[in-house]
Structure 1
């Protein structure tokens, strides 16, 4: 029988040291800067420590990973005090390779003070089967993998869990079925013992979760947190602006170039081609960004997220085609059919811990409500504030209305909709439009295809050749950048600067504060004394060019008088 644990109206603060945890684990928690557990951690960790199966539902960023990671580390530390042999005690399954690596880092952070006593490996990050077998040969305490990856090793008997497994975790469980892992998961269960403690974590409680719950949970406790799917309006501000394709292009150019969007930003588009089209488009204006999609090698994807989190670059253009797309877009993207080969174990929208994201921009509106919630959930995490801006075309309007209807219960007082209209007068940036249209047209289908192939080839070379080097020299990872220019579109250097005369008067002060260098008289007068020689050379070149030095005789005579 399932037991339902309801949350209390007000959170009862319980410190980690009141949970009877090992001192080494408490030291690792303190090192992370955690003062007190979140609501889901406060309720879930004691339940797991009591030996109960747990189904934990909570929104992204609520701290679900610690609900199972802390008790597993605690229990293994206790058991190894009397253990006679080294065996694998915990299996952690996740639907994407990025999430597997993220979970591995989480376990590493919890075992910093006891790394000699507990071993944890992530076989999902290794591309070669031989490398995975080497990791498993030492019988690590904790194995992290995707369902399809671990099944290979269970079948080959390189990983045997029938006698030793005590803990099974399925993270982001609602994606297991949608990513096509249902058959793999059922096969994995055949290689597991009949009795083990299990945890399922999920952002939703769908029918698939109920089926999975009946399949793997033995003594389930459902931990259902009564909280909104998104942070409150005081923490997350959601905007929308109606814009067709040309308007989207000119608007995002102006937002970034005039510094109207500040802080780390994730821009979501609907497919990989759009990902590179927007990257090449912004590149022409000197706006660096990096693409993140399922075509890139897993090591590159994880490294992109790591560098983004560390502040090396501020703009990620992301596409996640593991989810079903809106059929209305199918006709517009016929060119993509038959040539895309994404890693089915990749995911950008769900589970990835993007840190300190200030803004989410839906350049293309998401195809369904869940996708919108998970995209916007990348910002306003923890106690941080964030904004979400959605560009909405005419054919995307019904998608926005579906989101409005779903989130109608959380409309802030005084607003008619969960979306605030983004107050921006498009006529003020009309002077930007000719530049925008030329740059957008310059990104042809051939340029996009060449850019995709060039970057994938480059990332594959870096991913394979440099992996071992970076393992031995982690400080060198900062040298590798993913926001480099893709030279498949002709770069016009003058587009990097915005002339003063096309900046709207209301935005000029903001543009100057952002360090924008305007071209023309204002820029030439600020060169300083050290630039005199350069100005003289420019003047001489101008005099030698008859088209630039042409003068009418009549004007010359008037000037002499």
Structure 2
């Protein structure tokens, strides 16, 4: 996002930092860590990993993006490898560790972390994800060492006796513990406790110490060590936060102008609070040929994970995501139905969106916790990031003030600064935005919603076998196709020079020239391939013996 603000550089490392090699880890595990590109452990990893390897119960609290998954994954892998190596005869395969997470997306991410860390010892350690309920029985037949699941899925298997933990389990982990209760898993956790052995090592990770976390701490942990690392100051140095006050009808004008004028560039996550708003914004951007993907709880889990994966690979630049919170203006019945669609959906929290440059809060989050976790999708690790919040009502103003007060309390400064932007500079865009928005009716949104769900279901279910046999097809599958329930006017794709503010004309002209250059190269390449095909067809036809024979006959 282009601004006049200065980005503060992360402070240089002072003194000697602990390395992963100093933790007496298995060589195969160290190779996996090196392959992932983890040069040095984060502060929370430095503090917590040795404690877990020692066998202590640990409560880990740290901000999002600090590497909490590796905090428990590395000790579990190390202890299992060590036990198998020290055993005179190979230990029988059995479930030795259970990791619970509140959402399916987070379970997929955790399981991938285990697999990546174990890439040099896959014969000695198996980790599976049973959260999605996809051929769980066949996966369990391989007798995995580590199981990753949501509480509800694990409880189902325990009751059906397809998983038995009371004899073999040694480690029990609850990731993002503060969300477990808000997702309605309190009863599930208490019922799971009945199936656990008497003695086991436990770990809880959380970004906050809410009442539910403290309750779970007393329920699951025995004489625990609490490891709390405050990295708020370091994060604030890499994260620049802005807000802009506007009228509700100006939000669409703003997002269109910021994207088209290249004031927002790079990989961008746009958060909204409802599914209808998600499709409304996508259809609006389509009017200007701005491609985007949508992620919400209605889409199949496989599609959601595939979108995140492709976004991380750089295939998409813009993803419009619905926050995990339900809108307050929905009725109780609607809320109940929405949660039943997939109550294990979670995007704003825990998911590792990689290399995100910008977060745009098109709808200001409903709670302070949701705001913190939405902006936590950027400025992860040692990277920098920018957030921009649209504030257009009294309720959103109150939530903004609450977020500012919270940051002032923890950082000593008001970190969410006003974005210096003159609405008068984009008045020329207003008629275009109004024209495009008038085409995005409730009927159009409903049709787009149905079309997207049908398409994704077809891709997710019916083509599953095809993709298993043809993985390359899955790699090129795109989720940012235009829905087009309304007529798109082609002239809206380009911005006339006279509408561009004078200070930005050079930047916009350069970007437009680059785009034209790329499109021309694509057309030339396509034309070249097409002409070559025609030449090849001519050569083949001239050499066709039947055609030659016909010519000979006719000449006679």
Matched, 1:213 2:212: no
- Show structure 1 runs of 5+ residues with no match: 1-8, 520-561
Pairwise CA distance, 1:412 = 7.3
State whether residues 258 and 516 of structure 1, in contact with CA within 8 Å, keep that contact through their aligned partners in structure 2: no
Counterpart in the other structure of 2:356 = 357
Q: CA deviation at 1:84?
A: 3.5
8 Å CA contact 1:166–1:197 kept in 2: the answer is: yes
* 1:390 alignment partner, SS class: strand
Partner residue in 1 for 2:65: 61
RMSD: 2.3
Task: Measure, in 2, the Cα distance between the counterparts of 1:517 and 1:27.
Answer: 41
State how 1:403-482 maps to structure 2 within 5 Å.
Answer: 403-409=403-409, 417-482=414-479
Give the Å deviation of 1:23.
0.6
Deviation at 1:438, TM superposition (A): 1.2
Deviations 1:299-351 (A, max 9, x none): 0000000000000010010102x4354x4x44xx8996787453100101100
1:99 alignment partner in structure 2: 106
1:251 corresponds in structure 2 to 254
Decide whether the 8 Å contact of 2:45 with 2:71 is kept in 1. yes
Aligned partner of 1:380 in structure 2 is 379
Question: Once the 2 structures are TM-superposed, how far is the Cα of residue 143 of structure 1 from its aligned partner?
Answer: 0.7
Task: State the 1:506 CA deviation.
Answer: 1.8
**Alignment partner, residue 512 of structure 2:** 515
TM-score, L = length of structure 2: 0.86
What is the alpha-carbon distance in structure 2 between the residues aligned to residue 175 and residue 84 of structure 1? 35
TM-score calculated relative to the size of structure 1: 0.86
Describe the SS at the equivalent of 2:348. coil
Show structure 2 runs of 5+ residues with no match.
1-12, 517-556
In structure 2, relative to structure 1, the CA distance for the partners of 1:11 and 1:170 (3 Å cut) is farther
Secondary structure of the 2:172 match is strand
Residue matched to 2:524: none
For residues 135 and 424 of structure 1, do their structure 2 counterparts lie closer, same or farther at Cα, with a shift above 3 Å needed?
same
Distance 1:454 1:336, change over 3 A: farther
1:338-357 alignment, distance < 5 Å: 340=338, 342-357=341-356
How far the C-alpha of 1:238 sits from its partner, in A, is 0.7
Deviations 1:195-243 (A, max 9, x none): 10111000001110000001111231111113328812x3111111111
In the TM superposition, structure 1's runs of 4+ consecutive aligned residues that sit over 2 Å from their partners are 9-12, 322-325, 333-342, 409-413, 465-478, 516-519
Q: Structure 1: how far apart are the matches of 2:407 and 2:488? A: 43
Q: Cα deviation per residue 1:349-392 (whole Å; 9 max; x = unaligned)?
A: 10000000000001111112111111111111111111000110
Residue of structure 1 equivalent to 2:145: 141
- Cα contact 2:239–2:385 (8 A) shared by 1: yes
Residues 1:323 and 2:325 aligned together: yes
Q: How many residues align?
A: 501
For residues 232-290 of structure 1, give each alpha carbon's deviation from its aligned partner in whole angstroms, at most 9, with x where no partner exists. 2x311111111112211111001111111011000011110000000000011000000
- Secondary structure of 1:125's counterpart equals coil
CA distance in 1, matches of 2:333, 2:456: 24
Q: Which residue of 2 aligns with 1:190?
A: 194
1:464 Cα offset (Å): 1.1
